Structure 1
Amino acid sequence: MTQKSGMGSMRTHNDDTEPASLPSQTVIVTGGNSGLGYGCASALLLASPSWHVIIACRDPGRAQKAVEKLRDSARPGSRVETMELDLASLASVRSFAAKLKDRLKAGELPPLHGLVCNAAVQGARTFTADGFESTFGVSHLGHYLLVNLMLPLMEKPARIAVVASGVHDPAELAKVPASIGVPVPAWNTPKALARGELGPEAANDNAAADRGRRYSTTKLANVYFTYALERRLPEGITVNAFDPGLMPGTGLAREYPAVLRFAWHSILPRVIPLLRLVLLKNIHRAEESGKALARLIVDPALVSTNGKYFEGLREIPSSVESYDKDRAEELWRDSATLTGIEPLP
């Protein structure tokens, strides 16, 4: 059976009968068309029929293919659709927010109760439509603007999850073989990072090290953002950061050398249990990490958990560096300037 709702038809997955009730809450997953985001969206749709999941993605074609697959496995009554969102364009973020606001106001969507900030890029140095270095621009600035525009639209209780990574923490990187090659963060002022200028630790980086260090530095920004946001949220809305661990087979290796890409996509996903024994415990399939990420949105036990950092299912401390409140506050203020919004006090 098919029903129309805003962006197109949505099957209710109940074979011959309508579900007892329609979804009562909306959750947005950025980059939910593949990898971790897809795993999270799938887990949300299986968790409860109350969820209407929006896959926010820059490529409508890829997103729609993911939606069709998700619908086939979703729990009866839950719904999933796609809306276009390019985090490399502040204009696209604003357009997405305006369309979502209109649809919520018109009653086309259930109230907004969840937001998963998952999308990220890691690759050769490029710049966004607004002139920001892409790793920092997409993973941090795009999400910063999105969250600030979504907050007035959210109904309490609401939860936000920010995907960070253990690579932000030098102590965690020390456990990873050097062959994986992710250098520790090289923090700089936020405005310099937006221009693509890393701190002095990056002075002698080659192209591969530069790619990895911009990624680890931006993941540190994600943790700073989480902690600064927690200090500003009204009661009833929470935010937590999430480390999914190493996930062989996902798209982050798309610009690795050919041999490493082959190993990442074709060999390592097959031997994850062995890798946990001999290499690193924090290695998971995207489905496993996606389920752990979805837990931050749906688990009743976490309803009051706020401003914390999770490695999979475990709440752990983030890096020593990540608790620098002055840096976090500077990042918050400068991000408001860079994205052209009034900063929350």
Structure 2
Amino acid sequence: MGSMRTINDSLGPASLPQETVIVTGGNSGLGYGCAAALLSASPRRHVILACRDIGRAQEAVETLRESASPGAQIETMVLDLASLASVQSFASKLEERLKAAEIPPLHGLVCNAAVQGARTFTADGFESTFGVSHLGHYLLVNLLVPLMEKPARIAVVASGVHDPAELAKVPASMAVPVPAWNTPMALAKGDLGPAAANDDAAADRGRRYSTTKLANVYFTYGLAQRLPQGITVNAFDPGLMPGTGLAREYPAAVRFAWHNILPKLIPLLRLVLLKNIHTTEESGAALARLIVDPALRSTNGKYFEGLREIPSSVESYDKDRAEELWRDSATLTGIEPLPYARPTKLYPGFK
């Protein structure tokens, strides 16, 4: 853990940040863009980049300090979402620091970190895409909600790839297969639903990603019903963002185009190919808005494509699946889940 204060020692207590916001995986890509937007918008914020690679995270901290609003603070803490023990340790250390008033009260959490690559397994034996993007965040949220001070907000990074209707708008060369839902216990083992039966390695990688992003939406809707008044959660689709690290395991030619060519063509691509293509700075600012915009203070259990609130996929409103995911995730992570706190009638989208 490395704390990087950006305030002058001569500043008084009134100048110190008043709220802590955590961004998982904030050392690059969307998370970095979100952290930059949070820091530049207000001196009130103490942002924690919760990352597995502390070296890369510290480099991001150094760069973020340069554009931070005077008085804002930025630091990093170790969090490996592929390890339930690491998630528990992070939550315990954070609780100690909050109780000691070493950092301001916790008012925001951005669940951003994700992986997409060849099939691997976490330290706890879970398929990595599902284990990191869903189970790691599931445990983290259940541990951190009791530590939050109201009003507080949570943002969950999902993706339009969870929605077959949205995937139909994407050129075939850039699309991933639609989700292949299975029971959560099966997904944790790496077993997708029947639609994935004939997938090759590339299709398997993409389908596990889209299926996990569907899980992120189910998780958001289930959490929205369990949060106490004063704490909200919403899901977020950042759109296609050329240049981010999700293509790290793609073929070399694809990686080169993704990192070096497509980012320079975003305005053209948006005009002639797909509107939902953005820079990480644009999507990062839209993600940060879910944490800081006063107009969204009471918005809860919604799905945003960038700045627009839109419906998520038809499949994502299956309440039985959402409830099964919550129950099984509690079993897999070994915790008692948050209880219901709000009536289901607040969420008419559920079937």
TM-score by structure 1 length? 0.96
Contact 2:3–2:74 under 8 Å retained in 1: no
Contact 2:2–2:58 under 8 Å retained in 1: no
Partner of 2:268: 274
Say if 2:11 is the partner of 1:18: yes
Shift of 1:17: 5.5
Query: Partners of 1:304 and 1:64 in 2: how far apart?
Result: 34
Q: In the TM superposition, what whole-angstrom CA distance separates every residue of 1:176-206 from its partner, at most 9, and x where no partner exists?
A: 0111140000000000000000000000000
SS of the aligned residue for 1:8 comes to strand
Query: Partners of 2:102 and 2:112 in 1: how far apart?
Result: 24
Query: Partners of 1:206 and 1:181 in 2: how far apart?
Result: 15
Give the counterpart letter for 1:78 in structure 2: A
1:236-275 map, 5 Å: 236-275=230-269
Partner of 1:3: none
Partner of 1:40: 34
Shift of 1:304: 0.2
The percent of aligned pairs where both chains have the same amino acid is 84
Partner of 1:333: 327
Q: In the TM superposition, what whole-angstrom CA distance separates every residue of 1:291-334 from its partner, at most 9, and x where no partner exists?
A: 00000000000000000000000000000000000000000000
Query: Partners of 2:209 and 2:37 in 1: how far apart?
Result: 26
SS of the aligned residue for 2:5 comes to strand
Query: Partners of 1:11 and 1:190 in 2: how far apart?
Result: 43
Partner of 1:189: 183
Shift of 1:78: 0.6
Contact 1:181–1:209 under 8 Å retained in 2: no
Give the counterpart letter for 1:237 in structure 2: I
Query: Partners of 1:107 and 1:181 in 2: how far apart?
Result: 47
TM-score by structure 2 length? 0.95
Contact 2:4–2:74 under 8 Å retained in 1: no
Partner of 1:221: 215
SS of the aligned residue for 2:63 comes to helix
1:42-191 map, 5 Å: 42-191=36-185
Shift of 1:18: 2.6
Query: Partners of 1:246 and 1:182 in 2: how far apart?
Result: 12
Across the two proteins, how many residue pairs are aligned to each other?
338
1:291-306 map, 5 Å: 291-306=285-300
Shift of 1:75: 0.2
Query: Partners of 1:186 and 1:205 in 2: how far apart?
Result: 11
SS of the aligned residue for 2:150 comes to strand
